[in-house]
Every structure is written in structure tokens, then in C-alpha cells.
Amino acid sequence: MEFQQEFEKAKGFFKEKGFIIEDDNLKAILASRKEKIPVLAVGPTGSGKTEFFQLYAEFLQGAYEYQSLNGSITIHDLTQERIIGNNGKFEERDMILARWLRKAQTKVSILQFDEVNAAKPETLLALHPVMDIKAELFLPFTQEVLKVNKENAVLVMSCNEGDEYAGINAMNVAFQNRYIKVHFPYLQGDELSQMLSSKTGIEMGSAKKIVATWEKYMASRDPDQPVVGIRMLMYWCNLSKHMGLKSAGKYTFASLIARDEEDLQSIILGDFFVNLPD
């Protein structure tokens, strides 16, 4: 399919699913697949990175595997393990990289590595041969070499940016040179209100009030105050189906940003909530 045609098709698909993504970001992600370059999606918590790639897998009609690369994961956890089977004999079991590559022999297969900025440096280094021209994975127990079928094997990664993950390992430059980076910003304004309203079923008027409160906070937030992500706004919307907007906001937005109970009370009585109905 011509690239432009595929782009239009993808654009329609995400629109129908209610997922909002900038045209250029979508183009870059589709183009990276054509050119067989991994993608890293970077954005704050709840900016849609996980949902996007799940939908992307659905769009490509491919298999989808997800793995967080938190600091305890080694390359061995990702390739193959050996367990003792029912008959007392050793059995080899494919782990996520092996599963991803085996599926890619016959169909499109997407692997999402999440939290890559929290990964052990040696785990990332061990991924280089899979990502590179060498394009293969060695399975230690069965002594197999799995070739990466580049037509079908799609590697995508994601992580949060900035102060949310302060203090973790910096990704080494060699790794940083092995993907293209796509920023996932938070939706804003009416676009966000519309998304919240259609996904949670609350009225547009209420969604707009929630978004206005959130935008006021995010614009005035000190760097040491917590980010309130879209997931929390969805919790707020969902609770508000059963209780007032203000009460629902107390247990979601306000309790996240409050340092303690006293602070919580002053937030509820303060500027942020002044325009919200009970």
C-alpha cells in the first residue's frame, strides 16, 4: 500500500477508536515500521503510550506482547528459561523475546518494552544484537539462533520523561542511537474534554469543568508537585457518575496533589474547586 494511503487508513482507524494522535507522530511511527527502525514513545504518565501501541497492534492485525523492563529484569528473563516439567525432565520455555520472534516468522508481531529508562544497562546492551543488522537472538538452553524477521517483527518502546523517574539509570548513548523518539504530550482543552466525555460517558459540561481545573493546576504547578495524568482525570469522571463533581474530585485529583489531610481540605475549599458543583 502506498504510504499516504496507509496513513489515511491508520488515521481513520485511530479516530474511530477515539484515540487522538498528531498526524506527524502517526506518520513517523508508520514510516519507522516501513524502514524497520524501532520507536520509543516518550511522555508523561497517562499520555496514551500503552493504549496507542495496543491499538497499533490491532491496526496491523498483529500479535502484541508487553513487557516492563524494570530494574530487576535481565536478558535471561527475556529469552528462555528452563524449568522442571511434570515428568521430572527439564523443559525449555520461551520468554518474551523468543515468543515475539517466533510469532514474527508467520505474522506481524509487536513487542512493547515499557519503562526502558528504568532498565538495567546490561539488559539494554544485550538487546543491541536483536535491534541491529545482526538481527538475531541466541537461545541458551535450546542453543537455537532465532533470526529476526524484519518484515514482521516490530519493536516499540516507551517511557516517562523528566522528573517522574528521577534517579534511575541513564540510557547509554549507544542505545539512544537505536530508535526514533516520538513525544506523546497530554491532550488539552476541548480535545481532552471530548475524549473524557466520550470514554467515560459524562456530560461535556462536566468534562470541561474537570479539564479547566486540571489545566489551572498544571499551569501553576511547582516542579516538586505531582503530575496529574489523564488516567486520574478518567477516575474523576467515572466517580462523578455516582457522586458530585467536587466530591469525586476530592478522592482523585485533590488527594493526589495534597500533601496531607489538612492540605486536602484547603484544596477543596480553595481556588481549584471554586467553580465545581458539589
Residues that bind ligand ATP (CB under 6 A): 18-21, 43, 45-51, 160, 187, 195, 199, 230-231, 234
- Considering only CA atoms, which of 18, 7, 6, 14 is closest in space to residue 230? 18
- Considering only CA atoms, which of 50, 58, 56 is closest in space to residue 184? 50
CA angle 52, 70, 75 (to 5 degrees): 100
- Which lies closer to ligand ATP via its Cβ, residue 148 or residue 157? 157
Q: What cell numbers appear for 105 in the block?
A: 516468522
231 binds, among Mg ion, ligand ATP, none (CB under 5 to 8 A by kind): ligand ATP
Task: Report in angstroms how near the CB of residue 156 gets to ligand ATP at its nearest.
Answer: 12
Pick the piece of the chain touching Mg ion (CB under 5 A) from 8-16, 20-28, 45-53, 269-277: 45-53
Q: CA–CA separation, 10 vs 27, rounded Å?
A: 9
Q: What cell numbers appear for 39 in the block?
A: 520507536
Task: Report in angstroms how near the CB of residue 187 gets to Mg ion at its nearest.
Answer: 16
Q: Rg of the Cα trace of the chain? A: 22
- Considering only CA atoms, which of 126, 172, 155 is closest in space to residue 37? 155
- Which lies closer to ligand ATP via its Cβ, residue 43 or residue 249? 43
Task: Report in angstroms how near the CB of residue 185 gets to Mg ion at its nearest.
Answer: 15
- Which lies closer to Mg ion via its Cβ, residue 98 or residue 116? 116
Answer yes or no whether residue 54 interacts with Mg ion by CB under 5 A: no
Task: Report in angstroms how near the CB of residue 84 gets to ligand ATP at its nearest.
Answer: 35
Q: Which one among 11, 13, 20, 50 touches Mg ion, defined by CB under 5 A?
A: 50
Task: Report in angstroms how near the CB of residue 227 gets to ligand ATP at its nearest.
Answer: 10
CA angle 56, 60, 66 (to 5 degrees): 50
Q: How many residues bind Mg ion (CB under 5 A)?
A: 1
Contact 38, 7 (CB under 8 A): no
- Which lies closer to Mg ion via its Cβ, residue 50 or residue 149? 50
Task: Report in angstroms how near the CB of residue 240 gets to ligand ATP at its nearest.
Answer: 16
Q: What cell numbers appear for 190 in the block?
A: 476541548
For the packed helices 189-200 and 230-239, what is the interaxial angle rounded to 10 degrees? 50
Site residues (vs Mg ion, CB under 5 A): 50
